[in-house]
């Protein structure tokens, strides 16, 4: 069974008060449309058709890597008119699934239940009962409980407005039937739009049964029309992510104060996460890892038994087993720490490898460097990697000891077990095992006197 998924995404979204098309707004750093697309991709043998419209070029450009057909709806004349634009791409035997580009949290399970209701004699409609149905199309059923039609809010009688079962807009049906009905839609209604919902009455008249199914939660079918609804869905999504983490054995000190804007490649046992931690991109975290408060981890690999203290930023980095990071440390892209490395407060590491057991505990910048094992880097050490035009590497070999406040002017190599005296500016390679320092001699002037204030 080939499923053609039509994602309606041509609406303008005026109530967002944004220069950006609505479907490009994000939940968990992924656009609304991307969420819908990703969910639809969970269906086997599925082809995606995206109906875009006003300002939609930007949507198409931004999401150009999606495996989808882009179909323009030049004028937004209604949901039925939107679907009509895809007519030539639908085969009679296809099963057509209609999704909305601004309804991001629909679950695969709800789609499955909808598709299960599609046959030559029946179609699937996703409905939900709302305490306050205002604004939605109402599901009109007959005495025997069979769906007869959908009436839009603006066309509904007072009696019909009391109905609390509403149309989510999400439905599935056979391609041949859809095509025969959408081509006959008319716009003689309150909004002078071509309503997709009118196909329900046509189906009933043609003897096709309307089989309804329902989402597990209302949040699944909520659309985004304004920033308040966007933030609501962000919180709903994050609550779901936190639940998943806890189900996988992660301790969250406060599930309401952790955000996952990506996914986990792997999660070890006994990970503990303090408050205000943000995960982005694809992360991999080992066993027995503690993550301190206010920390951001992006596209990184964290080994077993790692301690990340509060207020760290770890971005595209690798932290080896048994290492201790922070508080207030920043690991930038291509920082690769081996096992048992200590990185302390106000230390920034970029494009550098640090071998086993080395320590950089205070106030340092290590960039474009190769640091050996058991190296001790004193407070305030800076690798001067940039001459304003090019970048150069600093190599510090195993067992070296770099005194505090040292500048290493790259390219430069500090030899094995070398010691650098505090306050040095190292411009040439330093030999193994020796003390190297660049420091003017300390002098004291015996006869010196402090100046005194002149009388006016
Ligand atoms: C629609 C349904 C209503 C349902 C509600 C659920 C119709 C006539 N009504 O109403 O029964 O309760 O959704 O949210 O279908 N779109 C286009 N092109 C258009 C018009 C709309 O692509 O010309 C897209 C929008 O971008 C949006 C979706 O279709 O993603 C729904 O459009 P919207 O205007 O929000 O429909 P409603 O009036 O809310
Ligand atoms: Ca809507």
Atom nearest to 8 CA in ligand 1: 22
Query: Residue 162 pLDDT more than 90?
Result: yes
User: Could you tell me the distance, in angstroms and rounded to a whole number, from the CA of residue 207 to the centre of ligand 1?
Assistant: 26
In tens, the pLDDT along 14-53 reads 899 999 999 999 999 999 999 999 999 999 999 999 999 9
76 lines ligand 1 (CB under 6 A): yes
The alpha-helical segments, DSSP class H, found in 189-255 are 199-205, 227-247
196 lines ligand 1 (CB under 6 A): yes
Nearest to 101 by CA among 132, 55, 135, 147: 55
pTM value > 0.85:
yes
> Which residue's C-alpha comes closest to atom 36 of ligand 1?
79
348 lines ligand 1 (CB under 6 A): no
21 lines ligand 1 (CB under 6 A): no
Q: Quick one: pLDDT at residue 12?
A: 79
Q: How confident is the model at residue 54 (pLDDT cuts 50, 70, 90)?
A: confident
211-222: average pLDDT: 98
CATH fold group of domain 227-436 = UDP N-Acetylglucosamine Acyltransferase; domain 1 (2.160.10)
> Which residue's C-alpha comes closest to atom 35 of ligand 1?
11
User: Could you tell me the distance, in angstroms and rounded to a whole number, from the CA of residue 226 to the centre of ligand 2?
Assistant: 10
Query: Residue 122 pLDDT more than 90?
Result: yes
Q: Where in the chain is the domain with CATH 3.90.550.10?
A: 3-221
Does the domain at residues 3-221 carry the CATH identifier 3.90.550.10?
A: yes
| Burial category of 189 from C-beta neighbours within 10 Å (exposed 0-12, middle 13-18, buried 19 and up) | middle
Quote the CA–CA distance of 319 and 296 in Å, as a whole number.
Answer: 14
Quote the CA–CA distance of 406 and 381 in Å, as a whole number.
Answer: 5
In tens, the pLDDT along 290-315 reads 999 999 999 999 999 999 999 999 99
173-190: average pLDDT: 97
Which ligand neighbours the alpha carbon of 139 most closely?
Answer: 1
> Which residue's C-alpha comes closest to atom 1 of ligand 1?
169
Q: Quick one: pLDDT at residue 120?
A: 97
In tens, the pLDDT along 235-247 reads 999 999 999 999 9
- Number of Cβ within a 10 Å radius of residue 45: 8
Q: Where in the chain is the domain with CATH 2.160.10.10?
A: 227-436
User: Could you tell me the distance, in angstroms and rounded to a whole number, from the CA of residue 398 to the centre of ligand 1?
Assistant: 65
Beta strand 68-72 with 46-52 is parallel
> Which residue's C-alpha comes closest to atom 26 of ligand 1?
11
Tell me which of 54, 214, 232, 362 is the catalytic residue.
362
167 lines ligand 1 (CB under 6 A): yes
Cα–chain center distance at 314: 16
Query: Residue 207 pLDDT more than 80?
Result: yes
Q: How confident is the model at residue 454 (pLDDT cuts 50, 70, 90)?
A: very high
In tens, the pLDDT along 241-266 reads 999 999 999 999 999 999 999 999 99
Cα→Cα distances 425→197, 199, 346, Å: 76, 79, 21
> Which residue's C-alpha comes closest to atom 20 of ligand 1?
78
70-93: average pLDDT: 97
Residues 21/62, Cβ–Cβ less than 8 Å: no
Query: Residue 55 pLDDT more than 80?
Result: no
User: Could you tell me the distance, in angstroms and rounded to a whole number, from the CA of residue 54 to the centre of ligand 2?
Assistant: 16
User: Could you tell me the distance, in angstroms and rounded to a whole number, from the CA of residue 429 to the centre of ligand 2?
Assistant: 68
171-183: average pLDDT: 98
Q: Quick one: pLDDT at residue 1?
A: 78
Query: Residue 56 pLDDT more than 90?
Result: no
Q: Write down the mean pLDDT value for the chain.
A: 97
Decide if 214 is catalytic: no
Residues 95/174, Cβ–Cβ less than 8 Å: yes
Q: Quick one: pLDDT at residue 348?
A: 98
Q: Quick one: pLDDT at residue 96?
A: 98
Share of the chain above pLDDT 70, in %: 100
Q: Quick one: pLDDT at residue 73?
A: 97
């Amino acid at each position: 069974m080939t499923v053609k998924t039509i994602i309606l995404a041509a609406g303008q979204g005026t109530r967002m008060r944004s220069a950006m098309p609505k479907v490009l707004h994000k939940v968990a750093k992924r656009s609304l449309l991307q969420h819908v697309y990703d969910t639809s991709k969970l269906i086997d043998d599925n082809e995606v058709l995206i109906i875009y419209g006003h300002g939609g070029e930007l949507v198409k450009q931004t999401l150009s890597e999606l495996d989808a057909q882009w179909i323009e709806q030049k004028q937004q004349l209604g949901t039925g008119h939107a679907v009509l634009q895809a007519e030539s791409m639908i085969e009679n035997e296809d099963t057509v699934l209609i999704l909305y580009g601004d309804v991001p949290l629909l679950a695969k399970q709800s789609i499955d239940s909808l598709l299960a209701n599609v046959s030559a004699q029946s179609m699937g409609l996703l409905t939900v009962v709302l305490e306050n149905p205002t604004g939605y199309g109402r599901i009109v059923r007959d005495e025997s409980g069979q769906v007869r039609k959908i009436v839009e809010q603006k066309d509904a009688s007072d009696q019909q407005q009391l109905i609390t079962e509403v149309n989510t807009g999400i439905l599935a049906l056979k391609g041949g039937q859809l095509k025969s009905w959408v081509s006959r839609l008319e716009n003689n209604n309150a909004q002078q739009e071509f309503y997709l919902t009118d196909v329900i009455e046509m189906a009933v008249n043609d003897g096709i049964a309307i089989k309804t199914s329902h989402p597990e939660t209302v949040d699944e079918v909520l659309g985004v029309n304004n920033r308040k609804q966007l933030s609501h869905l962000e919180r709903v999504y994050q609550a779901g992510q936190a639940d998943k983490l806890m189900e996988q054995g992660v301790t969250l000190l406060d599930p309401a104060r952790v955000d996952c804007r990506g996914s986990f490649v792997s999660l070890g046992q006994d990970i503990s996460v303090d408050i205000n931690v943000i995960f982005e991109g694809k992360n991999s975290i080992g066993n027995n890892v503690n993550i301190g408060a206010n920390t951001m981890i992006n596209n990184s690999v964290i080994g077993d038994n790692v301690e990340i203290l509060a207020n760290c930023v770890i971005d595209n980095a690798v932290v080896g087993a048994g290492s201790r990071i922070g508080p207030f440390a920043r690991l930038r892209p291509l920082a690769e720490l081996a096992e048992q490395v200590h990185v302390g407060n106000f230390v920034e590491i970029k494009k550098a490898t640090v071998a086993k057991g080395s320590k950089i505990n205070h106030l340092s910048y290590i960039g474009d460097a190769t640091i050996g094992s058991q190296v001790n880097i004193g407070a305030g050490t800076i690798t001067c990697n940039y001459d304003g035009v090019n970048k150069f590497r600093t190599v510090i070999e195993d067992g070296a000891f770099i005194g505090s406040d040292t500048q290493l002017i790259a390219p430069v190599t500090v030899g094995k077990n070398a010691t650098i005296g505090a306050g040095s500016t190292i411009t040439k390679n330093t030999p193994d095992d020796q003390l190297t320092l660049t420091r003017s001699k300390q002098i004291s002037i015996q006869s010196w006197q402090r100046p005194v204030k002149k009388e006016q």
